[in-house]
Amino acid sequence: MRAIVPTILVDMYIKLETTRLEYFIQEQSNLRREILQDIYDNILAGEIRGAKVGQRVILPASFIRGPRDMRRRCMDAMSLVQRFGKSDLFITMTCNSNWVEIKENLLQGQLSQDRPDLVTRVFRAKLQDLKDQIFKKKDIWSC
């Protein structure tokens, strides 16, 4: 039973993403098309058979992790830099599945990937602790 639950979650995620992509394919007439660029690209590639020439699907910025979404996020970050100046700190924090807090709360035979809820809670707690250390405890920066 334990192995079935993650499979169901993955299947549901794939179904949702597939549905979203199918919607964007059907609504291409409402999105900006770049037909001439596609024709130019196919000619340069040496394609002469019309049946082999596909149609580009343009994803809107609302499609998460698509090219337009990533460009929008980059522009948002640049506008923050423009407004507030360069940042003093750039911190990257990753989750370690071998953290003691995670290992202690796993049942016998469970792996950390079996409990994404637990991993998320521990990560958020550690992130909050890091933010508290940075913003509330000013004495850690005095050398």
pLDDT digits (tens, 9 = 90+) for 32-71: 555 556 666 777 777 776 666 666 677 777 888 888 889 9
In whole angstroms, how large is the CA radius of gyration of the chain? 23
Q: What's the pLDDT band for 100 if we cut at 50, 70, 90?
A: very high
- The pLDDT > 90 percentage for the chain reads 20
d(CA 49, CA 38): 14
Count Cα atoms within 13 angstroms, Cβ side, for 23. Answer: 9
pLDDT at 1 over 50: no
- pLDDT, averaged across the chain: 80
